[in-house]
Structure 1
Amino acid sequence: MPTALITGPATGIGRAFADKLAVEGYDLVLVSRDEARLKEVAADLTRLHGVACEVIAADLTDRDDLARVEERFRTGPIEVLVNNAGFGQKKPFWANSVETEEKQLDLLVRVVLRLTHAAVLPMIERGSGAVINVSSVAGFLQRGPYSAHKSWVTTFSAGLAIQLHAKGVAVMALCPGLVHTEFHDRMGMDKSVIPSFMWLNATDMVDAAWKDLMRGKAISIPSLRYKLLMAAARYTPRTLIARLSTVGLDGRRR
């Protein structure tokens, strides 16, 4: 069976990807910091889908741990990489320590760059493979460091998709809107202020993203409502985008 590696697979979007890829016939390599929880998730996926699950307990912001995950791409073929691990901030940029901000930068940017690089080299040699980098519609807004990091992920992925298309390797930035996951709960977001129609189901969102990958899209924005919102944003004055970007709490979108 082909193998997929997923970072942050325990809950939310990452878990939805684990279920989807298992259904699609992939064995899984699961990467997260919490080894005990990771083993529980692996056992559950094997029970539900009959796939083999390999567990790598790693703090991806730790360079030694990250190197161990990079090495996994050299010890056996990985056909699909899903870069999903990430976190937001409860406080605005200036209220956080610079170390906390650097850790978020590492996880959302440097880790994505390094794991994508580790993944695509053997994919190019085989002439096949796919990388899904989980970004966010926040990357199209002006919401501080989190938006900046996600903007980088989207631009990086879209550019790489063009460069690697002829080599048989697909790269896609997944830009979801608000998704029902633990991510927003951990950030302390008051979900009641968000209209219910703005929330996406993680399973449905991942299904749509997988279809976009199969169609060869470089950027996936699941759901018609978010596609329309992002299309409208292209023609909206930057001053209005800046004003809308202040609605809610900075850095609390996936």
Structure 2
Amino acid sequence: MIPLKDENPTRRPALLTYGLIILNLAIYFYVAQSPVMDAAIVRRYALIPADIAAGRHLGTLLSSLFLHASLLHVGGNMLFLWIFGNNVEDRLGELKYILLYLVAGVAGSLLQVAADPSSQVPTLGASGAISGVLAAYVLFYPRARVLTFIVPFFLVRLSAMVFIGYWIALQALNAYLSLGVPEGGGGVAFFAHVGGFVSGLILAWLLKELSGLVTGASSGIGQAYAERLARERYDLVVVARWRERLEELARRLEQETGSSVEVMAADLTDRTALAAVAARLRARPVDLLVNSAGFGGYMPFVRLPEERARELIDLHVLASTLLARAALPAMVERGRGSIVNVASLLAFAGSLPADPMPARAVYAGAKAYLVAFSETLAGEVRESGVRIQVCCPGIVKTEFHDRLGVDPSRLGPRMEPADVVAASLRALEAGEVICIPGLSEPAAVLAFQEQSRRLLQLGNVPELAPRYRQRPE
């Protein structure tokens, strides 16, 4: 399989990748102009496994990465670097990118030495370094599409996971088959490919820069998201009305985790404040948006003040929708990113009696909107690499009910916010669209979704249902 291009735009020109390609080609054509010079350069700068094993000529661990044996060798390596390197550079930045490139190259060479430490056959080429770039690419963009030529005449679009997964499996198989066979790789340093890939995968995970924006981060579930994401090395933007709480949270998380935490004090029921947060998402895209801001409106609908009803809808429905709208285009363009909308089990409780359930018409309706919105949006972006989730916890140990004047002793056992977040992030990794943290039987969610589809199929007919054809007696 030969990659021809990927469908994964970058935000900026990949100048370092272009520079590496030019440098490798320039060195190859300079060395190749004379057979005598070629032999001399190889003797001096190529890597000899036996020398490295004996502690000699250690500089060749680096110099050998910039030498190539043939036009096909350098051409193939530079094609892979051209297609996959620009996105990895765009994601990591120049400094971390070149660090990954060189470390993967050296690690690949060391594994090749370990596989055959007595070999006198020169090892050269950027394959180990580029294998590390491929590992980073598949980690960052597993669903990005790669236009692939399958010899002799097939053109297909494969996901990066499939293309690179097949490629590294082939390298590992050939490396295994070459064990114990003199020059068993047939001139190809398969162990360098494997070593470069594994080291690149580890280093990319350590170097990756993740960013997230969490609303409602001053307390409760939103604060628990911020705390968990900071521990997982996310740089954060935390949004809530209370600046003092946010600043205290930011100081603590920066000290405890080293993550950067940007504070945005904003009342998301205010259209100007909401527009400012949306503008921040468009200007500097994030990898994860968590819409967790919320408040309750438990009272009979006929007594709910109009302004309170408007605020409930503005915060739960409008703010979640417009922030997702601001964040999503960049995620789709990059082929990665996640949006979590925090709803409630009350989203499914509209038909339950008001006693002992709280009066909740607008609140439950807003949360039900988040369920329908998230499910539908997840279907729209299914092939883009972007994940959408709606998290629907039950009663959680937060300030939420305290602010409503509800006696905590009436609520029974309550889940910890950190457990809600743990469930949500694990569900996100598993691709679950509806996450109910306390639900032990995931089949119940599937049954709910199947019943929804069944209602759509059964009800979408041109004839009136028999029971509606005449007035009831």
- Shorter-chain-normalised TM-score: which range? 0.7 to 0.9
Partner of 1:48: 256
For the 8 Å contact 2:213–2:288, the answer to whether it is kept is yes
For the 8 Å contact 2:278–2:323, the answer to whether it is kept is yes
- Unmatched runs of 5 consecutive residues or more in structure 1: 236-254
Partner of 2:332: 124
Structure-2 change in CA distance of 1:8 and 1:217 (3 Å): same
User: Which amino acid in the other structure matches residue 84 of structure 1?
Assistant: S
For the 8 Å contact 1:73–1:122, the answer to whether it is kept is no
**Alignment partner for residue 69 of structure 1, among 277, 283, 287?**
277
For the 8 Å contact 2:236–2:259, the answer to whether it is kept is yes
What's the % identity of the aligned pairs? 41
Two-structure CA RMSD over aligned residues (Å): 2.0
Structure-2 change in CA distance of 1:47 and 1:62 (3 Å): same
Q: TM-score, normalised by structure 2?
A: 0.47
Partner of 1:212: 427
| CA distance in 2: counterparts of 1:229 and 1:57, whole angstroms | 39
For the 8 Å contact 2:214–2:238, the answer to whether it is kept is yes
Residues 8-40 of structure 1, C-alpha deviations (whole Å, 9 max, x = no match): 101110111001111121010011111122111
Residues 194-213 of structure 1, C-alpha deviations (whole Å, 9 max, x = no match): 332xx211111210110000
Please state whether the residue corresponding to 2:239 is helix, strand or coil.
strand
Structure-2 change in CA distance of 1:79 and 1:232 (3 Å): closer
Provide runs of 4+ in structure 1 moved above 4 Å: 225-235
Partner of 2:418: 203
Partner of 1:108: 316
1:187 lines up with 2:404 in the alignment: yes
1:25 lines up with 2:233 in the alignment: yes
Partner of 1:252: none
Which fold has the larger relative contact order, with Cα–Cα distance below 8 Å and residues 6 or more apart in sequence?
1
Partner of 1:177: 394
- Tell me how far 1:225 sits from its aligned partner: 5.6
Q: TM-score, normalised by structure 1?
A: 0.86
| CA distance in 2: counterparts of 1:227 and 1:139, whole angstroms | 17
For the 8 Å contact 1:177–1:226, the answer to whether it is kept is no
For the 8 Å contact 1:61–1:111, the answer to whether it is kept is yes
For the 8 Å contact 2:297–2:362, the answer to whether it is kept is no
| CA distance in 2: counterparts of 1:82 and 1:67, whole angstroms | 17
Please state whether the residue corresponding to 1:5 is helix, strand or coil.
strand
- Tell me how far 1:139 sits from its aligned partner: 0.2
For the 8 Å contact 2:291–2:340, the answer to whether it is kept is yes
User: Which amino acid in the other structure matches residue 238 of structure 2?
Assistant: L
| CA distance in 1: counterparts of 2:444 and 2:329, whole angstroms | 36
For the 8 Å contact 1:9–1:18, the answer to whether it is kept is yes
Structure-2 change in CA distance of 1:233 and 1:71 (3 Å): closer
| CA distance in 2: counterparts of 1:233 and 1:92, whole angstroms | 28
| CA distance in 1: counterparts of 2:265 and 2:441, whole angstroms | 34
Residues 74-105 of structure 1, C-alpha deviations (whole Å, 9 max, x = no match): 22121100000010025322212111111111
Partner of 2:371: 154
Please state whether the residue corresponding to 1:178 is helix, strand or coil.
coil
- Tell me how far 1:233 sits from its aligned partner: 8.8
Moved more, 167-176 or 216-225: 216-225
For the 8 Å contact 1:11–1:182, the answer to whether it is kept is yes
Moved more, 68-77 or 2-11: 68-77
| CA distance in 1: counterparts of 2:234 and 2:250, whole angstroms | 13
User: Which amino acid in the other structure matches residue 319 of structure 2?
Assistant: V
| CA distance in 2: counterparts of 1:172 and 1:37, whole angstroms | 27
